[in-house]
Structure 1
Amino acid sequence: MDWIGFSYAAIIAFGGFMGYKRKGSVMSLVAGLVFGSFSAYGAYNISNDPKDIKILLLSSGVLAVVMGTRYKKSGKLMPAGIMSGLSLLMVFRLLLLIML
């Protein structure tokens, strides 16, 4: 069971919900639920086959780039900086998982 992957997916979905609750941003809610769902599905795939990292790698890579760009433009650590950092850590974790 890929608890780290499922936790990452839950954090993404919760972050989207919090963006909606605090700022009324429907886009944050939709993006959080979409990326959270893809990440949860990717974590499910890794739980069944540890070498099947494609979906989770793609979703965390895209999220790292998008949120990293938002962090660079805004300079705000919350939420863009934290999400880009978590996503980058997930990308590194997945690359290590496939190498070992």
Structure 2
Amino acid sequence: MKRDLKNQKEDLLNEIQNVLKDVESLYDEGSKLGADEVQRLRAKLQDRLNVAQDKLQGLEERAMEQVRHHAKAADDYVNEKPYYAMGFAALAGLVVGVLLNRS
């Protein structure tokens, strides 16, 4: 699951780099090319932007799904073992208190 999210992130970054290269190409070649070529490059750029947006949306949905899953797991754990959760919170508070008093 984590590896899949990482792969999606890398794909999205690659797609963004490709879009930026296309933008640079459109800018550089825009003055040299005719209107038909510029329109073709714009259409290609728009397609790339749409792909990048789709990948970003998929990555966002996947990340939200993971957050919900982990929040549900934490909630279930706290409901099943409330004393462990209280003990952990007390221990964390003790550690923070000791660290703050040392300063």
TM-score bracket for the superposition, by shorter chain length: 0.3 to 0.5
Structure exhibiting the larger radius of gyration computed from Cα positions: 2
Select the structure that is richer in helix.
Answer: 2
TM normalised by structure 2 equals 0.39
TM normalised by structure 1 equals 0.40
